[in-house]
A and B are shown apart, each in its own frame.
Chain A
Amino acid sequence: MREIDSKMVTETISTLLQDGCYHLSDDVIAALRQAYEREESPAARNVLAKLLENAEAATRDEIPLCQDTGMAVVFLELGQDVHMIGGDLYEAVHEGTRRAYARGYLRKSVVDKPFSARTNTRDNTPAVIHTTIVPGEKLKITALSKGFGSENMSRLAMLTPAGGRQGVIDFVVKCVDEAGANPCPPIIVGVGIGGTAEKCMLLAKQSLLRQVGEPHADSEVAELESEILKRVNDLGIGAMGYGGRITALAVHVEVFPTHIAALPVAVNLQCHSVRHREATL
């Protein structure tokens, strides 16, 4: 058994969230560069060039990449042989979020009473927390600042099994087509297939945590990813929706067994402002 102080969790989350909001990670920069090289549309190339300049400006001027610094989504993979000390683990996560948004001059965008008063909580808490218990004595933390221009374009379909592979592809492509310019393309398309309704959406979200364009380990799933990517890029939406060859930088699919009566498909879009970081304590 190993003890981990929840104060470490607070500090780690504060650092991870701030880092994500100020520095575009290398995989995203590489994907944007590649998109710039391949793009034929002058308007879209102009956007891609500006996004790369923006990443430099954010780091140099100490200004967040995007003004929507999102809602914090935190994934905890807690080793079952860890003993947390120093207070409530989830409170430590919220405190880390609070600290990141205050110290990092990030925008506080979370409101309470969502269908009525919509009062700003003023510190961007609560974070959305997903915990899994795993073997071992470590705690892996992944912190994501999720912007809502793209989050608002999420969709879930409970397809019939008869829909099959083609049904999945058509649904995902339709989602991206309808979202158009709204989720700030170029995007990463997160797809969950299987499970129950809520599990399916979580799979889609988790797929976004992969390095951009890293294919799924299972070749059947990886083939599906590249087929959807081609279809999505054939839509012609392009960077910022101005028309172009690159609408998505990548399609990531995660799968899970499901019920004999179902074929759930979830789509969770990630804009080019990809902001997730991980650390292991």
Chain B
Amino acid sequence: MKTVSMIPRSVKLPLSDDVVETLHAGDELLLTGVMYVGRDAAHKRMIETLEAGEMLPVDLKGQTIYFMGPTPARPGKIIGSAGPTSSYRMDFYSPRLMAEGLKGMIGKGMRSREVKEAMNRYKAVYLGAIGGAGALISRCIQKVEVVAYDDLGAEALRRIVVQDFPVTVVNDIYGGDIYEQGRAQFRIAAPHPAAVQ
């Protein structure tokens, strides 16, 4: 089943402003390089660290965070199923991390207005991975290591190396939003109930 008309573009991580500027909502990308993995608990910890006036355990400049909590790895494997989690739960934390230099976020589902404004201000992008495709995405992950917050177990902050990880640009720095654009393109307006009578 491979009749995809769009040809995904290969992008190396970490991201520079120059690359971020070329990304537009709807672009399909294949990401290769290093990214961090964290979800609710790791985000909460990072913000607490910053609020205490301390340094983050990793330098986020140019980095990408993947919102994901994997299934346990089987013996002999480095990771289990590894698809995205809903991003809105990270909305509260993301702007602060973008201020620290975060350039990319990967998840699924809609972001808040505040996050979109911060993406525009700090030149960062939000990328969508395919929710429920954790088995397929797992194949793109070549290396996994815990870098901080060990005690959080499955939710610890991890660094992973990926090869050709397929994502779609959801929000770009120009206000583009594939959820809104896609819906507008395919929406068929319902007849107004009053008009039907």
Contact = CB atoms under 8 A, between A and B. Distances in A.
A128 interface: no
Contacts of B175: none
Contacts of B1: 36, 49, 52-53
B82 A67 contact: yes
Nearest to B84: A67
A182 B132 contact: no
Interface stretch (B55-63, B114-122, B135-143): B135-143
Contacts of B182: 41, 43-44, 236-238, 241-244
Nearest to A108: B154
A206 B73 CA distance: 32
A188 to B, nearest CB: 13
Select the residue from A41, A66, A234 with max chain B CB neighbours within 10 A. Answer: A66
Contacts of B149: none
Classify chain B's interface size.
35 or more
Given A58-B135, A105-B73, A107-B69, A243 B4 contact: no
Interface in A110-130: 120
Interface of B: 1-6, 26, 28, 68-74, 77, 80-83, 85-86, 88, 108-110, 128, 130-136, 138-139, 153-154, 166, 168, 178-179, 181-190, 193
17 contacts: A40-B186, A46-B6, A46-B28, A50-B133, A61-B135, A67-B85, A67-B134, A68-B83, A107-B72, A149-B85, A149-B131, A166-B193, A181-B108, A182-B86, A235-B187, A242-B168, A272-B132
- Top 10 nearest A-B pairs (CB, nearest first) are A243-B182, A236-B186, A236-B187, A184-B131, A58-B135, A234-B188, A182-B109, A64-B81, A67-B81, A57-B135
